[in-house]
Each structure stands twice: as structure tokens, then as C-alpha cells.
Structure 1
Amino acid sequence: MEQKRGPWTILSSREGYRNPWVEVTHHEVLRADGSPGVYGVVGFQNLAIGVLPLFADGTVPMVGQYRFPLKRFTWELPEGGGPKGEDPLLSAKRELKEETGATAAHWLEYGQADLSNSVTDERAHLFLAWDLTEGEAAPEPDEVFQYKRVTFGELLTDIHRGEVDDALTQLLVLTAVSRAIMGELPDRPRNLILDQLPEARTGGS
């Protein structure tokens, strides 16, 4: 049965591939101009979860790992996936603990984003965590992490230099900067962020 989806008409759909993390669906469609075409969509079984953890000294924990699709090592903020039926905050707390060992007294979800909306339905939830307590990391058996702490200012500079190109890390940092400047974060994390920005970005002279 034909189905309308925006300007497209879906003539038929079939599942091409599925595993515990993703499913690929092949659609035969009519484009907006009536011409035939195909549309492949990657559906994600989990929500994307990203955490910006702020220690009291203004540092943040970075997680380094080899990313199989990219064929290279990357540095990122703590991030992972959470079941769609679970409160994203619970997933964020679990990811932070697993990847860094840290726990946080305070949490705030301060943004959401579609990560690759032309071919996937992946939705990301952005969390800020502060008043951290250090602990022992507990990664999954197939996860091999490196770990370092950098100042928030150093991380922001690395992003601007193109040295940290993970999309979720960039979203976490740049959204936090924007919300801090606009006064939309609680005082404690807002001050930790603003204290490390160049004066031109915070209205200083």
C-alpha cells in the first residue's frame, strides 16, 4: 500500500539488515516530481547519549578509543547509547560511570540533536554533569579506552583547531558555551565554563 511521507510516496519497504544496534530499511519511492527512486534509512535501536562532565577545577574527562568505521583513534567526551524505553538520564549516568568511573551530584539535559538526518533517525541527548566524584571505570568487555583530563578551555581550543572532530563532543561543548553565554545554565557550571572563555566571548573588555 502506498504511503505518503512528506514529499515522498513510499511504494514498498523491506528490511535489508538488522543487528542489536541498527536496522537498514530499503524503500522504493516516488520523488516529489513523481519520478521513481530509492531511499535507504539506517534506524538506530538506541538513543545517542553524550555527557559533558565538569570537575570543580574546570577540567573535563576525555575518553580515547579506536573507532572501527573511521579506521582511526579519536578523543571524545563520554558518550554511548541508551535504550529508547529508558530514561535518557539513567543512560547518561551509566555511560559516565562505565567510561570514566565518575559520578555526579547534579545533572541537566540541555540539548537534543539529530546526528545525521539525511540517512539515519539517530537522536542525541546532551547532558551536563557537575560536582563530580572520581571512581573506577567499568567499560564493557569489548571496549578499550584511554583516559585524560583537560581544561574546558583547552577542549574548546582543540575543537576550533579541528583536533577534536567527534560530532557529539562538538555539540556538547558548543551548545554549553552558547547556553552559558545566554545565562541558561545553573550558576556553578555556567561560571566554570565562562571563566575559561576568551574575554571577547564573555563580553569582557
Structure 2
Amino acid sequence: MNIEAKKNAKLDEVTVSTKPVFEGKVISLQIDTVQLPDGSTASREIIKHPGAVAVLAVHAGKIVMVDQFRQAMGRCELEIPAGKLEKGEDPLEAAKRELQEETGYVCKNIRLLHSFYTSPGFADEIIHLYVADELESGAAAPDEDEFLELYELTLPEAEAAIGSGRISDAKTIMAVYALKLKQVTGTYGL
């Protein structure tokens, strides 16, 4: 079975109107009225996001992570380095920038692992997940409102952090399991 992104006339919804509700620094919210395949209409609440990058950075066999307070969760979260795309920014360059800003590391080798939508039921945010190695240390330069602590975890430590809930965001979980797949099979599987 060939699965690819495509339109399906039996399932497609057609946007009839869009009502902007909120315009923020990072996201915006709109309510779309759509025509359903059976001809009826429905409302869809949509969060628009500029997209983001995340980096599975491996240094001396360990996963480079940052600890950061996340207001939406009300607690700190261990995560791989990540950040939003600036308007018109190339995701590869953004990944290198975020890695350096958050951790101080620069990489000699970086490649796209996969791009994925975070919550397609209500948001258009796409994250481009990169894998980086051959890291060289340097000076971190986080954003002025960003307070981070750097950690380097072995794969078993990262898996234990997932098990305890210390790591609970999808991009970091995906990155940890991609590295595990690489260690078991020799490939990231994508």
C-alpha cells in the first residue's frame, strides 16, 4: 500500500471562511468554517505556528539535552535542543543555530532525520528533527528569556528519564528511540 500525502475527495474539507482570533509572538489562532464531504459545515480551531527545529546531538556517546522550565507544564523538562524557525529561515541553519545557542556546541556533521507535525488535529506546527555529531564545544548564547542547564545522558539514562516522566515531550522521546534504533540496527530507520 502506497501511503503519501494527497487529497482524497471523499474526505477533504473545503475552507469556507477564516476568522482570526488571536495574533501572538509565537502562535496565532483562527477559526475556520469548513464544508464537510457530505455538504454540511463545521468549525475548526486552528493554531498557526512558524515551525521549529530540534537536534539529536550526540557527544562522546551521550545525548546532549537541556533542562528548562516549561510554563505550560508547570515544571522543568529535559529536552533535546530545539527552537522555532524565524520567518524565511532555512531549517538546517536554524538547527545549527539552536544547537549552538542552547548548548554551546557546534557540529561538523548534521543531517535531517525526519519532519513531523506535532498535533495535526488543531495545529500546523511542523518540527524538523536533525541528528548531529562530531561536536565541538563553544559558548552557549541562549535567548534573553531562556534559562537552561546542560546535560549529557547515556541512552539508558535517557530511557530511565522517559520512564520516570522527566522526559515527556514527543520530539525528545522520538529522538531517544531513534538513537536506540541506530544502536540496535545500525540505522535510524528512516
- Separation in 2, partners of 1:94, 1:119: 28
Report the Cα offset of residue 20 of structure 1: 2.9
> Does the residue aligned with 1:126 lie in a helix, a strand or coil?
strand
Q: 1:106 to 1:173 in 2, by over 3 A?
A: same
> What's the offset of the Cα at 1:159?
2.0
Q: Mean alpha-carbon deviation: is it higher for 62-71 or for 153-162?
A: 153-162
1:50 maps to 54
Match of 2:27 among 22, 33, 36: 22
Is 1:68 aligned with 2:68?
no
How many residues are treated as equivalent by the alignment? 180
Corresponding residue of 1:78:
81
* Alignment match, 1:188: none
Residues 34 and 95 of structure 1: is their aligned pair in 2 closer, same or farther, counting only changes over 3 Å?
Answer: same
Q: Is the 8 A contact 1:65 1:74 kept in 2?
A: yes
Name the % identity: 31
Q: TM-score, normalised by structure 2?
A: 0.84
Q: Residue 179 of structure 1: CA displacement? A: 4.8
> Matched residue of 1:20: which SS?
coil
CA contact (8 A) 2:155 2:180 kept: no
Whichever residue aligns with residue 41 of structure 1, its letter is I
Which secondary structure state, in structure 2, belongs to the residue aligned with residue 173 of structure 1?
helix
Show structure 2 runs of 5+ residues with no match.
1-8
Secondary structure of 1:141's aligned partner: coil
Say which of 175, 184, 188 aligns to 2:187: 184
Structure 1 residue aligned with 2:17: 12
Which residue of the partner structure matches residue 92 of structure 2? 89
Q: 1:148 to 1:179 in 2, by over 3 A?
A: closer
Deviation digits for residues 151-179 of structure 1 (CA, Å, limit 9, x no counterpart): 13311332244431011101222233335
Q: Write out aligned runs for 1:1-205 (5 A).
A: 6-45=11-50, 47-56=51-60, 58-83=61-86, 85-179=88-182, 181-184=184-187
Opposite residue 124 of structure 2, the aligned amino acid is D
Q: Give the C-alpha shift of residue 25 in structure 1.
A: 1.2
Compare 16-25 and 122-131 and name the one that shifted more. Answer: 16-25
Match of 1:83, SS?
coil
SS at match of 2:85: strand
AA aligned opposite 2:55: V
Q: Which amino acid is 1:19 matched to?
A: G
- CA distance 1:68–1:161, change in 2 (3 Å): closer
| 1:81-123 Cα shifts (integer Å, max 9, x gaps) | 1235222110001101110101111111111111111000111
Query: TM-score with structure 1 length normalisation?
Result: 0.79
Q: 1:5 to 1:39 in 2, by over 3 A?
A: farther
Which sections of structure 1, spanning at least 5 residues, go unmatched? 186-205
Q: Distance in 2 between matches of 1:168 and 1:179?
A: 16
Deviations 1:8-43 (A, max 9, x none): 243321111112311111112333444432111001
C-alpha separation between the residues in 1 aligned to 2:62 and 2:166?
18
